Amino acid sequence: MFMIYLPIRTTNAVASQENIRTHSCCHLLKTSVEAVTRAYFYAHKAYVIAGGLGGFGLELADWMITRGCKKLLLSSRRGVRTGYQQLCLGRWQRMGAEVLVTNADASTITGAKRLLSEAEAMGPIGGIFNLAMVLHDGLIENQTVESFEEVFIPKGCGTQCLDELSRVMCPDLDYFVAFSSLSSGRGNIGQTNYGYANSVMERICEQRVASGLHGLAIQWGAIDDVGYVHESSAKVNLSGTVPQRISSCLEVMDRFLRLNYPVVSSVVKEDAYSSTATQVKRDLVQAVLHILGVKDPSRKDPNMRLGELGMDSLIGVEVKQTIERDYDVSLSMQQVQDLTIKNLQEIAARGPGGDMRAADEKSSKKVNESSRALQMQQLMLARSFLTEEMFVEMNGLKGDCPLFLMHPFEGSVAALMEMAGHLPVRTVGVQRTSETPLQSIEETAASYVQRLLDVQPSGPYNLVGYSYGAMLAFEIAVQLQASGAAVQSLTLLDGGARYGRQHWAVQRFGLPDIGETAQELSFFSRFIAHYINIDEAEARDRINRFSSWDEKRDAVVDMLRKNIPGLREHPRDLAAGITRLRFVGGNAGS
């Protein structure tokens, strides 16, 4: 709020009614009246938004244009990339605003000078908003000089360069605003570098205010609707706050732009009563079923096992991590497979670190069922490692134009047999063999293309890929079309290049900075826990006794052979299969 002083004409308040009727003398009193602030932007001035093509940047630009701005310069390293960005630019142009996009880098003196010069060509500069950001989160022991520089440059260096040059080129700025974060004011685990970069921006704004210039750093919490949290579908609780709607952010901008404080915060406190048992149950169930691709949980039988909902090994790792991270409950891969929707509700009701004894008692009643499920996993492992048939007729139908179904990460289509049985056309499964090249997705796909021609010499071709196989199917389609062959249909089930990279990141356990040795240990321990009845921690202890990758692999082979009868006579094939998985995973993440 700010105060406006107005001359008010009034009469003597204590005069009697009769005196008021006859009293003709009046005098002026100085009285304060509160007025609601409303930021406004001058049509003849140009305004700069660094990082203006991001989610918040587009919303801020639209808000400024509705508040009178007619000249706007947006900077972005990558330029216009999406249809929505193009839509916004076109809409603003129709509204009569001149909006330009530049790739000038404000984090250098040369780039910042170019940015301000381009803005000056549009008109006198009225304001500078720095929204640029880069995230590289990691625990402090995993941070490096490079990771600090990567995050610091767009914020710290960018704000410093814009401050230094604006003092000379446009000293009469109405607004100099830097978007900071609550990670600077309160801290957030894994964001030491991000908090440092934001803190530097805040100190620059404090120096500007001390010099009599405008400077404002806004510590935002998590932003809903747009930006990183929204795009990553992440559930964020930062220092006891919840994501703030973009409409709320723009509403408080009105107040912030008129304040005389250099650093302000805008957060939404978490409602202490929002995390009821029902809400927690719904959150965990929805989170897990979202990972599995189930859109409507209400239509699913609460006693249905997750393994029956199409959970492969990659998705299983992500589900396992979600339960461990949010509820501090450690489960083996087999236990994750055996979980039901009802079990998830029970885990959520107990809360983080809840007592698992009740669940253990119930699970003990399902020993036979779990044993059968484990045997099925072991059978699938044996089939995927010992298969020498690249093509498998999956439903016994005939036809000259079959549907080619690409294998998932494990290399076998055994898990897809039931689905293929419901398809009305001939379905041919494509499996990985010991002769399949694994150096890259392109080479693997090329080897499959050569063999596809033996089954179907000419197009059109119909391709389906599941999970990791979706990337293979896509690459095969590209190579077939490049050779002049026609591709009639391409169906990707829970897959694609981006999907594969994300899930391989999960397979590497979301810890890119833990080092190769630790990654190998995690790979082997989680792999072995998926196929035999052993605790992951125990598996890690056994494998950690060996130093080289080959020694660890051989130890895993011995453990599998002792527990899976079908693999006892095939140690060499099993070792080769595990090695292939290593290469396949690396290619999926590349």
Q: What is the pLDDT of residues 22-33, one digit of tens each?
A: 444 445 555 566
What would the two tokens of residue 395 be?
């439903």
Interatomic CA distance for residues 529 and 519, integer angstroms: 15
Looking at per-residue pLDDT, the higher value among 536 and 54 belongs to 54
What would the two tokens of residue 486 be?
């026609």
Q: Are 466 and 408 in contact (CB under 8 A)?
A: yes
What would the two tokens of residue 208 be?
């500007």
Span 14-27, mean pLDDT?
A: 45
Interatomic CA distance for residues 385 and 434, integer angstroms: 8
Q: Which residues contact 517 (CB under 8 A, 6 or more apart)?
A: none
Interatomic CA distance for residues 86 and 149, integer angstroms: 31
Q: How confident is the model at residue 167 (pLDDT cuts 50, 70, 90)?
A: very high
pTM (two decimals): 0.45
Q: What is the pLDDT of residues 297-325, one digit of tens each?
A: 677 777 777 777 767 666 777 788 778 77
Interatomic CA distance for residues 335 and 320, integer angstroms: 9
Interatomic CA distance for residues 268 and 252, integer angstroms: 12
Residue spans per domain, the chain: 2-35, 46-269, 277-365, 390-500, 506-588
Consecutive H or E run containing 501: helix 497-507
- Matching residue, tokens 């009643």: 365
At 279 the pLDDT is 47
- Matching residue, tokens 């594969």: 500
Q: Are 242 and 222 in contact (CB under 8 A)?
A: yes
Q: What is the 3-state secondary structure (H, E, C) of 128-151?
A: EEECCCCCCCCCHHHCCHHHHHHH
Q: Are 171 and 186 in contact (CB under 8 A)?
A: no
Q: Is the predicted pLDDT of residue 380 greater than 70, yes or no?
A: no
Q: How confident is the model at residue 535 (pLDDT cuts 50, 70, 90)?
A: low
Interatomic CA distance for residues 378 and 485, integer angstroms: 39
At 200 the pLDDT is 93
Give domain 277-365's CATH number out of 1.10.274.10, 3.90.105.10, 3.20.20.70, 1.10.1200.10: 1.10.1200.10
Domains 277-365 and 390-500 share a fold: no
Span 482-511, mean pLDDT?
A: 66
Length of the chain as a residue count: 590
Q: How confident is the model at residue 408 (pLDDT cuts 50, 70, 90)?
A: confident
CATH superfamily of 390-500: Alpha/Beta hydrolase fold, catalytic domain (3.40.50.1820)
What would the two tokens of residue 328 be?
């501090």
Consecutive H or E run containing 41: none
Give domain 46-269's CATH number out of 3.30.67.10, 3.40.50.1220, 3.40.50.720, 1.10.10.10: 3.40.50.720
At 124 the pLDDT is 95
At 176 the pLDDT is 96
Peptide bond into 243 cis (omega under 30): no
Q: Are 528 and 534 in contact (CB under 8 A)?
A: yes
Per-position b or e across 16-51, b if 16+ CB within 10 A of its CB: eeeeeeeeeeeeeeeeeeeeeeebebbeebbbbbbb
Q: Is the predicted pLDDT of residue 379 greater than 80, yes or no?
A: no
Based on DSSP, count helices (H) and strands (E) in the chain, helices before strands: 24, 16
